[in-house]
Structure 1
Amino acid sequence: MKILTIVFLTIFMSNGCDSASAQDIETAIVEYTVNTRGFYQKITVKNHMMTVSKDREGNDNPVPTKISDADWKELVDYFKTIELDSLSKLKAPTEKRFHDGAAIANLKVTFKDKPYETTDFDNGFPPKEIKKFVNKITSLAKE
């Protein structure tokens, strides 16, 4: 009986720890930045809200827009698949930004006061590990 109790508690406690440490986009700040010499856009997603800034200096006051529950659920699902520790190691699938063929994009996630950031990649061509997440963010900004 003691062994059964120990096994049960071990399984229960390990599952509890996993859910407590799971990535929760509610507490994260996601920033997707796109820029070239003549263009700048910063999309910020935080707790069901999104802002889009087009001022490189940050002097504009972007209006927060509420993200619908369906879109938010999609973002949450995509966010859970991202390994934050590996963001800086992701390889860009294309190199058009090297010859002005595409704008330079970057994804930064601040989670539990720790920043996680990708290396630069071509706008519209994110690394496959974050492609669905980035495409969802950019599609919301176009709406």
Structure 2
Amino acid sequence: MTATQMEYSAVSRGFYKKIIVQNKTVSVINGKNTEPIESKIDDAKWKQIVAEFEKIDLESIKTLKAPTEKRFYDGAAIANLKITKNQQTYETLGFDNGTPPKEIEKLVNLLVSFTKE
């Protein structure tokens, strides 16, 4: 997993959040033009992230269907998960922040949990 980077972003007119996870480190950006807050990920949480990551079929994430469509009328920020592994990038279509497709839900929730600590 050392050559893998996961990036979760959620954006709307008044909301901006980006979470980048790589090499047991997380960077959280809350708001445009703000400095990232970087911290180490403890071993237990890292193992959870790796376990959930390994369940994902990277080739299929670009076709995952969002379970809700609140982002179409400003009811939710547009969220996206981008994974870069071995210089290959895999990216989801937009989905509602807080309601990811079920195939990536556990991984997204682990990433988002860094903004709640």
1:85 alignment partner in structure 2: 59
1:131 alignment partner in structure 2: 105
2:80 alignment partner in structure 1: 106
Alignment size in residue pairs: 117
Per the TM alignment, residue 45 of structure 1 is displaced from its structure 2 partner at its CA by 0.3
1:120 alignment partner in structure 2: 94
1:26 partner SS? coil
What letter corresponds to residue 36 of structure 1 in structure 2?
S
2:13 alignment partner in structure 1: 37
Per the TM alignment, residue 89 of structure 1 is displaced from its structure 2 partner at its CA by 0.5
Query: Higher relative contact order by CA 8 Å / sep ≥ 6: 1 or 2?
Result: 2
Per the TM alignment, residue 62 of structure 1 is displaced from its structure 2 partner at its CA by 1.3
For residues 53 and 21 of structure 2, the distance between their equivalents in structure 1, rounded to whole angstroms, comes to: 12
Structure with greater helix percent:
1
Structure 2: gaps (5+ residues):
none
Structure 1: gaps (5+ residues):
1-24
1:27 alignment partner in structure 2: 3
Q: Which of structures 1 and 2 has the bigger CA Rg?
A: 1
Paired residues of 2:76 and 2:97 also in contact (CA < 8 A): yes
Structure with greater strand percent:
2
Per the normalisation by structure 1, the TM-score is 0.78
